[in-house]
Amino acid sequence: MRHRRTSHLARVILLTLPLLLAVAAPARAQDPITSSMLGPFQGVYNYPGGGSCSTDVVTFVGTAHAMCQVPTSPTGEITCYINLLADRGTGATRLYHAVGEAQATCPPGVLCMLSSNTYKVIPDPACPQTTMTVYALVTFDGTGHIVEAVFSPQPINQ
């Protein structure tokens, strides 16, 4: 009689243990939604000058690329990587190049205002390089994909 009872108990444990482990296992977080888009980079930057180079008002026109990861949970931040792509600027007396890449974050939502100051401004001819802040306004749809992206060396109004 004791042998049957142990055998029955062992069967119950063997049958219910996998179910208990499946229920108790932590849920795996879903991967973030990743999307990217090219957008216009345009606006005015005040070059500070230096050395024998005078200050200058530079008008930039070009393209930037944004790749963003949107969390699938209601918490967490949106992370975007922004690259300037061969952007050119024209000042009163010289040409400029804007180059660089940066990462920025914003809270979850439909609109994401980003800024990062790691972009180089390289004047022609040999004037001192400077850095500038690039501002971005990235708009997402309800699924977390980018639907619009604009970039500027000046703050962007919504």
pLDDT at 24: 47
Q: What is the mean pLDDT of residues 17-31?
A: 52
Where does the pLDDT of residue 72 fall: very low under 50, low under 70, confident under 90, or very high at 90 and above?
Answer: confident
> What are the boundaries of each domain within the chain?
33-152
Taking only the tens place, the pLDDT of each residue in 111-158 is 889 888 789 999 987 899 999 999 999 999 988 999 999 999 999 886
Instruction: Report whether pLDDT(19) > 70.
Output: no
- Provide the residue type at 52 as one letter: S
Instruction: Report whether pLDDT(58) > 60.
Output: yes
Cα distance between residue 51 and residue 37, in whole Å: 38
Residue among 62, 72, 69 at smallest CA distance from 39: 62
Q: What is the mean pLDDT of residues 28-54?
A: 91
Residue among 153, 147, 77, 150 at smallest CA distance from 120: 153
- Provide the residue type at 145 as one letter: H
Instruction: Report whether pLDDT(109) > 70.
Output: yes
Q: What is the mean pLDDT of residues 27-40?
A: 85
Give the predicted TM-score (pTM) of the model. 0.76
